[in-house]
Structures are given as structure tokens and as C-alpha cells.
Amino acid sequence: MKNSTKKNTRDVVNFRNIVLFFVIYSFIGWLLETFYAMTTLGHFVKRGFLYGPLCPIYGWGAIILILGLKKYKSNSLKLFFYSAIVFSIFEYLVSFGLDAMFATKWWDYSNDFMNLNGRISIFYSFAWGIIAIIFINHIHPFIEKKVKRILNKIPNLVQILLVKGLLIVVIIDTLLSCIKYLYI
């Protein structure tokens, strides 16, 4: 019974971390997208699917790296190729899904060399591989250390309420955004 309790506590903590990392990396992705749009267009452009300042594709991408590809941290070549393949497939499916559900293109690589239906291109596949190496070896360990340090200062109940609150906000934002794009 004691081992079961430890495992359940560890699962809850991992779920908390997953939610926190999803929100953190979705927000960082939104910042990057916004900065990129501002520098290329010269003015603020609301980026992303959601009303709020989150780009969930970055959050999900980070979670895929953390849970699925982090094990290749010591082998940069494998991490590069697996990430390039996995994220190209992921990006294609997300693009296809958004287009099918909302008849909207969120990105278009049609003018890029070696693209597939404008949804993915060899340049971005290569970029995802490099980003994965940088993310797994430098960015995530730094963020993870900061999150752990902050969480150690926050009571468990407050952590639970924070994560539940973030989850509720993301779910509501996603539902409202879906409704907006379905009916506009």
C-alpha cells in the first residue's frame, strides 16, 4: 500500500509539471511568434489560435520532447533525426487538423524549398531537430530547475489550485476559440 501511495503522489506531481510546462512553453512560443511577427511586419499581430497569450503547438511540442524524446539526450544525432521526423509529422497533422476543422491556414510553407502541401518544409524539419537538441540540453533543464525552485516554496494545496486554475483557463480558452473559429 505504501508503494502505491508514493507512485500516485509521483504521478500527480508529474501531471502538475506537465501542465505547468505546457503553459510555460505555450507562452514562450506565443512570445516568439509575436516577436517574429513584429520584426517581420513591423507591428503587433495577435499570434496563435487561442484568445490568450498561448500557442499550444509549442506546449505540446515541449511535452512530446520531455516525455518522448528526452531519452535521446546523450545521443544528439538520434535526438536530431527523431525530432525532425516526429515534429514534421506533428506539424503536418496539426496543420491538416486546423484546416479541416476551421478552414484556416495558420502557416503556409508553399514558397519554401521542399515543402509538402505547404504544411511542412525541409527547412523547418531541420530547424525542429536543432531546436530539440538546444531545448533538451539547455532550455528545459534551466526552466525545470527554476520551476522546481519556485514550487518548493509554494505549499502543496496552492500548487494544486494553481494547476487546476491554469488547466481550467486553458480549457475554457480552447473551447471559446474553437467556437469563435467555427462560427466566424
- The answer to whether the CB of 56 falls within 8 A of the CB of 172 is no
CA distance linking residue 133 with residue 155, whole number of Å: 34
Which tens digits make up the pLDDT trace of 158-183? 999 999 999 999 999 999 999 998 88
Q: Please, are residues 54 and 48 in contact by the beta-carbon 8 Å criterion? A: yes
Q: For 100-111, how does the pLDDT look when each residue is reduced to its tens digit (9 = 90+)? A: 998 888 899 999
12, pLDDT greater than 80: no
pLDDT bracket for residue 134 (50, 70, 90): very high
Number of domains in the chain: 1
Task: Report helix angle 156-183 to 2-41, nearest 10.
Answer: 50
Q: Which tens digit of pLDDT belongs to each residue from 57-66?
A: 999 999 999 9
Give residue 49's pLDDT: 86
- Which domain does 135 fall in, by range? 2-183
